[in-house]
Amino acid sequence: MEKVTNQIPKNISLSELTGEQRGLLNKILSPVISLSAFVGFWYLMSLHYNSQLLLPTPRSTFTAFVLFFKTPDVWKNLLLTLERVLKGFSCAMIIGVPVGLLMGVSKTATRMLDPLLGCFRQVPIMAWVPLSIIWFGLGNGPTIFMIALAGLFSVVLNTIVGVRNISKDYFHAARSMGAGSFSIFRHIVLPGALPDILGGARLALGGGWMAVICAEFIATSAGFGFAMVEAQTRMETEKLLALMILGAFVGYLMDKCICAAGNVLTQWK
């Protein structure tokens, strides 16, 4: 009779894994462990307080989250808010990049604008809310203004750094090859500062996303932030928590998008 060889592999113990496999396992397991620990802690605390108003359980929050997929209102508010973010962010870029480039190349411009920038930057962004309501009323106006303002400073400052960090050799090289001022701006300053400009854009978008939610708490009657206040006043804490989680996801996705765009634009790096 033929012998049947045993095809089932014997149990693999951790010590038999190669270094690479162990690294991969570690990479997957570590965040899973910390996240489950957090949710476990949340669950225990919700049991302890035993109040859907104070701290809903992870399960009811998850249910509220799933329910979003059946409520168009949530998405309508989210889209409205995203539209505001994009508009405000665009304003920040359209104003911030040229100002930053100018300050990066011109010492006079820096001397003139630096004190102004330094002062305005110190005003907490939320302190602009009352004035922006006076100026723009309620709705899109103040929110877009706040997002633009929140992003403007990081765009300007990063652009300046980007221009100043370009190696002097590149300017010398371009000049010794016959390049004029415009050509140097177009072929050296712009591409050389681009990685830092994109860094500024990333901060501006993140900052804008934070600012818009806060602005919507106060200065509007629609949008993602408004939906959160609504959930709070209706005492639907599980919906509020679910909205917060959704907000985190959206912010994360926006950040990933801008990083991906940056990688495409600066392949040479």
Partner 1 sequence: MIKLKVEHLGKTFSRGDDTRVVLGDISFEVEDRQFVSILGPSGCGKTTLLSILAGFQDATSGNILLGNRKVSRPGPDRGFVFQNYALFPWMTVKENVMFPMKQQNVPREERERTAARLLNMAQLDGKENFFPKELSGGMKQRTAFIRALAGRPEILLMDEPMGAVDFQMRQKLQEELESLWLKEQITVIMVTHDVDEAVYLSDRVIVLSSKQGRILDDVFIDLPRPRDREAEAYEKHKTRLNSLLRKAFKEI
Binding site for partner 1 (CB under 8 A): 167, 169-170, 172-180, 183, 187-188, 191-192, 194, 266-269
d(CA 84, CA 206): 13
For partner 1, the closer CB: 139 or 191: 191
Instruction: Read off the tokens for 80.
Output: 């409205």
Angle (CA) 81-86-88 rounded to 5° is 95
Query: What's the closest the beta carbon of residue 19 comes to partner 1, in angstroms?
Result: 29
- The minimum distance between CB 154 and partner 1, in angstroms, equals 23
| Closest distance to partner 1 from the beta carbon of 93 (Å) | 20
Tell the smallest beta-carbon distance from residue 196 to partner 1 (Å): 13
Host H or E run for residue 53 = none
Rank residues 4 and 177 by Cβ distance to partner 1 and give the closer one: 177
Q: Nearest 5°: phi and psi at 112? A: -75, -45
Rounded to a whole number of angstroms, the minimum distance from the CB of residue 191 to partner 1 is: 4
Nearest to 73 by CA among 232, 230, 269, 235: 230
Q: Give the number of other Cβ atoms within 10 Å of residue 255's Cβ.
A: 15
Measuring CA to CA, how many Å separate 146 from each of 50, 139, 160?
39, 12, 22
At 234 the three-state DSSP class reads coil
Nearer to partner 1, 62 or 170 (CB): 170
In terms of CB distance, is 97 or 227 closer to partner 1? 97
User: Between residues 147 and 193, which has the closer beta carbon with respect to partner 1?
Assistant: 193
Quote the CA–CA distance of 71 and 63 in Å, as a whole number.
13
